[in-house]
Chains A and B, each alone.
Chain A
Amino acid sequence: MSVEIVIQNDWAEKYRPKTFKDLIGNKKAIHELRLWAEEWEKGVPEKKAVILYGTAGIGKTSSAAVLAAEMGWEYVEMNAGDQRTADVIERIAGMASKTTTLFSHEVDEDGKKSSGRRLIVLDEADNLHGTYDKGGSKAIADVIDKTTQPILLIANDVYGITQTIRSKSMEIEFSRIQTRSLVPVLTKICQNEGITAAESAILKIAENAGGDVRSAINDLQAVTVGKTEIADEDIVISGRDVKETIFKALVKVFKGHHRSDALDAVKTLDETPEDLILWVDENLPIQFPNQSSDGKSANGINPDVANGYQVLSKADLYLGRVRRRQTYRMWRYAGFMTTVGPMSVRSKDYSGFIKYTSPSKWKRMGQSRSVRNMRDNIAVKISARHGKSMRVSRNEIIPYYRKLMENEEYAIALAGESDFDMDELVYLLKAKSATKKVQSVYEKSRFIADAKRPAEPEFFKTPESEKRSTVAAADKNQLTLEEITKKSEEKKAEEEQAAAKTEEKPKNQKSLFDF
Chain B
Amino acid sequence: MREEIWVEKYRPMTLDDVFGQEATVERLKSYVRSGNLPHLLFTGPPGVGKTASSVSIAREMFGEFWSENFTELNASDERGIDVVRNKIKTFAKTAPIGGASFKIIFLDEADALTNDAQSALRRTMEKYSGNCRFILSCNYSSKIIEPIQSRCAIYRFRSLTDDAISERVKFIAEKESLTITEDGLKALVYVAGGDMRKAVNSLQAAAFIQKDIDEETIYKITATARPEDVLDLIQTALAGEFKNARDKLNVLVFEQGLSADDVMNQVYRALFKIEDLSDAEMIQLIDAVGEIDFRITEGANERIQLEALIAHFALLRRKEKE
Contact = CB atoms under 8 A, between A and B. Distances in A.
A7 B113 contact: no
Contact of B123 (A56, A124, A214, A340): A124
Contacts of A318: 290, 294
A73 interface: no
Contact of A13 (B78, B130, B194, B268): B130
Interface in A122-157: 123-124, 126-127, 129, 132, 156
A239 B286 contact: no
A493 interface: yes
A127 B116 contact: yes
Interface residue tally of chain A, by bracket? 35 or more
B85 A333 contact: no
Interface in B40-59: 41, 43-46
B149 A226 contact: no
A239 B41 contact: yes
B120 to A, nearest CB: 4
A514 B283 contact: no
A503 B85 CA distance: 14
B81 interface: yes
A496 B85 contact: yes
B129 A344 contact: no
Most chain B CB inside 10 Å of its own CB: which residue of A83, A238, A500: A238
Contacts of B287: 314, 333, 337
Given A6-B131, A500-B82, A329 B286 contact: no
Contacts, number: 210
A225 B27 contact: yes
A325 B296 CA distance: 13
B297 interface: yes
A505 interface: yes
Interface string A7-30: 111101100000000000000000
B266 interface: no
A270 B140 contact: yes
A129 B112 contact: no
A243 to B, nearest CB: 12
B101 A9 contact: yes
Contact of A506 (B24, B33, B117, B142): B117
A500 B78 contact: yes
A219 B152 CA distance: 8
A41 interface: no
A330 interface: yes
Contacts of A340: 279, 282-283
B141 A333 contact: no
A514 B193 contact: yes
A189 to B, nearest CB: 14
A80 B140 contact: no
B308 interface: no
A509 B113 CA distance: 10
Interface in B212-266: none
A368 interface: no
Most chain A CB inside 10 Å of its own CB: which residue of B31, B82, B113, B149: B82
Contact of A332 (B113, B143, B268, B297): B268
Contacts of B24: 238
B130 A509 contact: no
Contacts of A123: 122-123
Given A7-B101, A13-B130, A333 B149 contact: no
Given A156-B147, A225-B30, A508 B109 contact: yes
A275 interface: yes
Contacts of B154: 237-240
A225 B36 contact: yes
A510 B140 CA distance: 9
B121 interface: yes
Interface in A175-228: 212, 214-215, 218-219, 221-222, 225-227
Interface residue tally of chain B, by bracket? 35 or more
B84 interface: yes
Interface string B150-192: 1111111001000000000000000000000000000000000
Nearest to A346: B279
B79 A506 contact: yes
B86 A496 contact: yes
B123 A81 contact: yes
Given A80-B122, A333-B289, A496-B85, A272 B142 contact: yes
A330 to B, nearest CB: 7
Nearest to B129: A10
B139 interface: yes
A503 B131 contact: no
A1 B96 CA distance: 12
Given A222-B153, A340-B282, A510-B139, A127 B120 contact: yes
Given A56-B150, A499-B82, A225 B123 contact: no
A49 B45 CA distance: 45
A260 B274 CA distance: 12
Interface in B16-47: 23-24, 27, 30-31, 33-34, 36-39, 41, 43-46
B112 to A, nearest CB: 5
B38 A227 contact: no
Contacts of B84: 81
Contacts of B80: 500, 503-506
B300 interface: no
B286 to A, nearest CB: 5
Contacts of B117: 506
Contacts of B120: 80-81, 124, 127
A253 B116 CA distance: 34
Contacts of A500: 78, 80, 82-83
A247 interface: no
A132 B141 contact: no
Nearest to A222: B153
A227 B30 contact: yes
A515 B272 contact: yes
A381 B248 CA distance: 58
A219 B268 CA distance: 38
A214 B150 contact: yes
Interface of A: 1, 4, 6-10, 12-13, 55-57, 61, 77, 79-83, 123-124, 126-127, 129, 132, 156, 212, 214-215, 218-219, 221-222, 225-227, 236-240, 242, 259-260, 270-272, 275, 311, 314, 318, 321, 325, 327, 329-330, 332-333, 336-337, 340-341, 343-345, 493, 496, 499-500, 503-511, 514-515
14 contacts: A57-B147, A61-B123, A81-B127, A127-B119, A218-B150, A227-B30, A239-B156, A260-B272, A270-B141, A270-B142, A311-B283, A325-B297, A496-B82, A515-B272
The 5 closest A-B pairs by CB, nearest first: A239-B154, A333-B290, A226-B30, A344-B279, A56-B147
Given A218-B152, A239-B153, A511-B140, 8 more contacts: A4-B101, A56-B150, A132-B116, A239-B154, A270-B141, A271-B140, A275-B142, A337-B283
